[in-house]
Amino acid sequence: MTSDQTRFRLDGLEPDNLLAFLALLGLLRALDTCRPDWHSRAGWDLNQPPLRPILTIVEPASEQAICDFAAAGIAQLAAVNNFETASDLRFDRSVGRKLLCRAASEQSGVEARYFADLCAALIFDAALDRERTKVEPTPLAYPSVATSNFLKNFIVLCNAELPEKRGRDPTYPKGEAGCIAQALFAPWQRRDRPVGLRWDPDEAKRHAYQWRAPTKDPPTTQHGANRLAIIGLSALTAVPTSSGTRVQLSVLGGLAAEIGSASPGRSGPRQLPCYPSARCSLIHSCVNREPLNISVWITSV
């Protein structure tokens, strides 16, 4: 760990990885929960290749302190997730509306606001399936197939402060702060289980054209990044869009010039640190709303 400083280069968060982007958003929200006086911000380190985000705070601190407070913020926010007996995001329409109303009516603190934002990022009671009986979740949630279930795995990650034991592996983190440090300050080794939520391209297992079923060789992930990402997901509020006669959910994107950043070949990504609230305002106020484009999202923070 380094000595106290106010700027931290996050070498583990690659700019073209959705999981890393969500982890960055989660880091900012977790720190704002436990240390709002730090006024945590994020920008890009353009002076030292390869391109990586930098975290900026107003008071000097160590990497250990960053990880300690991030872990505490995750635990504080993840503890309020309450989907009751639900086992799938494809709720009946009335159940989905009840969940959204309950989450919105309980906004009495930082934790309650997080759960309301999370529910708004996952479902919308007017976006229904073709039979118009069940809600369709955000496109960032993979469909439930066989034993793969997004909501169940999400809840598992909320409760799992550490990854599964790996025998005598010397790289196994001693605590949740160490798990966060492995995700933020070093290149990812991806040795952890349980599996993530398929936001990392390296977790993809294709069944087509395989000599044997990839289920016999299950993917591994970076657990600390997934713990941060379940918090960061709450920043990406899903919005309804019309598709023919149906209403479907999408994640707001847009042209880079419309959300305060330049596309490749122009002036480059944002270097000055930006508060989470300002970033969300830029994302949600884009004029032409288009499907999610990860390169646009990454260069806009």
pLDDT tens, residue by residue, 234-278: 998 888 888 778 888 887 654 333 333 333 333 344 554 555 554
Cα–Cα dist 174/163, whole Å: 11
Q: Which of 80-94, 167-181, 224-238, 251-265 tops mean pLDDT?
A: 224-238
Q: Is residue 272 a part of any domain in this protein?
A: no
Confidence of residue 187 (pLDDT cuts 50, 70, 90): very high
When the pLDDT of each residue in the chain is averaged and rounded to a whole number, the result is 80
267 or 97, which is more confident: 97
* pLDDT of the residue at 107: 65
Q: How many CB atoms lie within 10 A of CB 105?
A: 10
Q: Is residue 123 a part of any domain in this protein?
A: yes
Q: Which of 154, 151, 189, 215 is nearest to 12 (CA)?
A: 189
Structural domain range at position 162: 5-252
* pLDDT of the residue at 4: 79
Cα–Cα dist 26/32, whole Å: 10
Q: Is residue 243 a part of any domain in this protein?
A: yes
Confidence of residue 20 (pLDDT cuts 50, 70, 90): very high
* pLDDT of the residue at 180: 96
* pLDDT of the residue at 159: 92
Per-residue pLDDT reduced to its tens digit, 136-167: 888 888 877 766 789 999 999 999 999 988 77
Q: Is residue 260 a part of any domain in this protein?
A: no
How would you class 168 by CB atoms within 10 Å of its CB: exposed for 0-12, middle for 13-18, buried for 19 or more? exposed
180 or 220, which is more confident: 180
277 or 184, which is more confident: 184
Cα–Cα dist 93/282, whole Å: 31
Q: Is residue 149 a part of any domain in this protein?
A: yes
295 or 173, which is more confident: 173
Q: pTM here?
A: 0.82
Cα–Cα dist 285/258, whole Å: 9
Give the rounded percent of residues in the chain with a pLDDT score beyond 70. Answer: 77
Q: Which of 28, 36, 26, 75 is nearest to 59 (CA)?
A: 36
* pLDDT of the residue at 237: 85
* pLDDT of the residue at 147: 67
Query: Looking at the 3D structure of the chain, how many domains does it have?
Result: 1
Q: Is residue 198 a part of any domain in this protein?
A: yes
Q: Is residue 268 a part of any domain in this protein?
A: no
Q: Which of 57-61, 192-196, 286-290 tops mean pLDDT?
A: 57-61
Confidence of residue 129 (pLDDT cuts 50, 70, 90): confident
Cα–Cα dist 172/158, whole Å: 19
Q: Is residue 296 a part of any domain in this protein?
A: no
